[in-house]
Chains A and B, each alone.
Chain A
Amino acid sequence: MTTPLITTSRWGNKDGHTLDGYIKSGGYQALQRALGLTPKEVHEEVKKASLLGRGGAGFPAGVKWGFLPENVWPRYLVVNGDESEPGTYKDRILLERDPHQLIEGCLITCYALGLSQCFLYVRGEMAHGQERVAQALNEAYEAGYVGKNILDSEFSVDIVLHWGAGAYIVGEETALIESLEGNRGMPRLKPPYFPASIGLYGKPTIVNNVETLANIPWIVLNGGDAFAKIGAEQSTGTRIFAVSGHVNKPGVYEVEFGTTTFRDLIMGEEYGNGIRNGNELKAFIPGGASAPWFFEEHLDMPLEKTAVDQAGSMLGSGAIVVMDNTTDIVKACHNLVRFFARESCGKCAPCREGTSWLEKILQRIIDGNGRSQDLDLLLDICDNISPGISWPPKQTTICPLGPSAVSPISSAIKRYKEEFDKYLSKSKPNIPVQIKSGAG
């Protein structure tokens, strides 16, 4: 059986983003079908599909939906379209090339769970995505698919397009809610662990990623069982992976989840097509900047959540970044750490202080001012942000941003310590002379 394209089937269509193009290719049939079922039945289909969240944490969507408390209203749907994890590049294309599929996914979710309003939060920098979604919503409202009495039923819901304004941390779901409430995008203290109990305006709120919701129409049309048959037992359906960096054919590919291997995606002719210039693989990031690195020995591992988790990393947001043997590991490590230092929201001290210390120490190593004890110092700071530097990471912070900065450092030092040593051996540290007091 060839794997069907579930979320990217319209990417090749010129008019896939228009209402006509969407309907011509089977669009809004799932909504019609859902309205013929009871909301509970729709929820059941999604549970049966075992659809894992596609944003980064990989939590089963159907289970998350089940956390809504009974009889508390109104309830909201917030769509997380703040894609900003370095290397990640899928939600933006879903927004630009198939906005109606996402809209249909939102509508079905609202119907199933009794969510009375939907806020579609799109990252501010994605101007074209904003335009495509706005256009799609305008068309869908006009045609009766969104708004009051959808398709002449009793089901009514508004979908409000909301703009972000540049902040990686807003991808964390409680920070996203803060931002949507008009505040600084700082994560909320847990518990409650899930906004499903207390979310937007203190009301029950489901926060789902764009790709997660884009799967919903297919699941409703074809059934949760059919979805669960694709992929591996605990990683069902398909997933979109972006392969970038030093490969011959960087690209965004939808593949069967849980069975395709890293080697397929990085080396396979129809995908990454091997390392550029005939070079050798040095390392690759399997799931976005926050993920610990993998190396050659991991190539034959399937892109399956449990397997990757057990190997000490994560599939995260589906971003595979490939580094060849020409890569300066210290500089790559610095680049990733600088990202977290810049994007720390500043709420928790270990992250606010720690990530920028890490960045400054790596910078001085690169600049030739490194000190002999700097590697120990780096790991000591890492240990203060994420005690034990283990996987999954422990955290001294409210959200995982701080501990994420630890991943590139521990990965790089563990595997390529000699590259740090090379910098340090040529280093002439500029250490201020210590003035002894009271020596006299």
Chain B
Amino acid sequence: MSRLTEESLRTANDIIDRYPIKKSALIPLLHLAQEQDGWVTDEAMNHIAEIIGITPAEVLGTCSFYEMFKRQPNGEYQVNICHGISCHLLGADQLIHHAEETLGIHEGETTSDGIFSLEGVECIAACTEAPCMQINYRYQNQVSESQFDELVKQIRSEERSDIPKHGTLAKVRQNISAERIAGFDSIDESIAPVWLERNGEVE
């Protein structure tokens, strides 16, 4: 429950520097906040507003549009079962029903121990692997009911270190070193790229 830590803030500034206009970094920064706390806290949103130079309402406006951002405490493992058309045709509804029974919660709820949150989600682009699901955005393909129960058991007994806690999206971040960065021109000046000019392609 906090503002961005010093480490998160350093990463945030690196990200902001890549965009001609700071607000473009908003969604990546909200992911960063969610990675830090497991959900997006009001304090983090206010902090992001400060560093980007926009109002907290603007941050909330964007944050509330996107499904991946959770604005209340979330389970450590977000279980998203796909109910898109291909998965629907191959038993997604039954799988969701089974998941509800196994976890003892309904779609949209979190288990009382705070470990699992369950959702039925729209197509996650694994249609040939139906019915499929993601746990913290890691794919599980052609999931049977017994496989689902096995996964839940493994997670409860902490055997799935390959699946990071909720909020961590990508374990690899883009780094651009100071020597290699091309940088960008101000959007207020109309300067043609040098390689076009040399080729005589600027009128």
A-to-B contact residues, CB < 8 Å: 38-40, 70-74, 83-89, 91-92, 111, 114-117, 123-128, 130-131, 134-135, 137-138, 141-142, 144, 146-148, 153-158, 160-168, 179-185, 201-203, 242-246, 250-252, 285, 289, 319, 321, 323, 327, 331-332, 335-336, 339, 342-343, 345
Contacts and interface: CB of A to CB of B under 8 A. Distances in A.
B157 interface: no
B195 A131 contact: no
Interface in B113-155: 122-130, 134, 136-139
Contacts of A168: 122
Contact of B195 (A39, A138, A158, A343): A39
Given A125-B134, A158-B183, A319-B127, A165 B66 contact: yes
Contacts of B180: 141-142, 144, 146-148
A246 B91 CA distance: 11
Contacts, number: 241
Contacts of A131: 170-172
Contacts of A92: 125-126
Given A40-B201, A166-B68, A321-B127, A127 B85 contact: no
Interface string B166-184: 0001111111110111111
B193 A114 contact: yes
B122 A339 contact: yes
A83 to B, nearest CB: 5
Contacts of A179: 27
A170 to B, nearest CB: 9
Interface string B58-95: 00011001111100000000001001111011100000
Contacts of A146: 180
A126 B123 CA distance: 12
Contacts of A147: 176, 180-182
B184 A89 contact: no
A116 B187 CA distance: 11
A153 B195 CA distance: 9
A148 B31 contact: no
The 8 closest A-B pairs by CB, nearest first: A182-B26, A166-B67, A165-B66, A182-B23, A250-B128, A244-B127, A130-B170, A147-B180
Contact of A138 (B169, B174, B184, B192): B174
A161 B192 contact: no
Contacts of A285: 85
Contacts of A323: 89
A73 B171 CA distance: 35
11 contacts: A40-B199, A117-B184, A125-B124, A125-B137, A163-B169, A167-B65, A168-B122, A185-B65, A321-B86, A335-B84, A339-B123
Interface in B186-200: 187, 189-196, 198-199
B198 A154 contact: yes
Nearest to B29: A182
A74 B191 contact: yes
Given A128-B139, A285-B85, 20 more contacts: A86-B86, A92-B126, A114-B201, A116-B185, A117-B20, A127-B137, A127-B169, A134-B172, A138-B175, A146-B180, A147-B181, A156-B195, A164-B27, A165-B66, A181-B24, A184-B65, A185-B65, A246-B90, A250-B128, A252-B128
B75 to A, nearest CB: 17
Nearest to A153: B195
Contacts of A144: 180
A245 B89 contact: yes
Given A89-B126, A181-B24, A336-B85, A128 B203 contact: no
A244 B23 contact: no
Contact of B24 (A83, A84, A180, A336): A180
Nearest to A90: B125
Nearest to B193: A114
A336 B85 CA distance: 6
A20 B32 CA distance: 31
A310 B68 CA distance: 39
B12 interface: no
Given A71-B203, A142-B180, A165 B30 contact: yes
B68 A242 contact: no
A321 B85 contact: yes
Contact of B192 (A114, A162, A164, A182): A114
Nearest to B63: A165
A74 B202 contact: no
B28 interface: yes
Contacts of A246: 89-90
A35 to B, nearest CB: 9
Nearest to A339: B122
Contacts of A251: 128
Contacts of A203: 187
B184 A116 contact: yes
B66 A167 contact: yes
Contacts of A342: 122
B1 interface: no
Contact of B203 (A38, A70, A158, A243): A70
Contact of A158 (B27, B84, B179, B184): B184
Nearest to B194: A154
A378 B105 CA distance: 34
Nearest to B64: A184
B171 A88 contact: no
B65 to A, nearest CB: 4
A39 B187 CA distance: 22
B85 A124 contact: no
Given A165-B69, A250-B130, A88 B194 contact: no
A409 B183 CA distance: 49
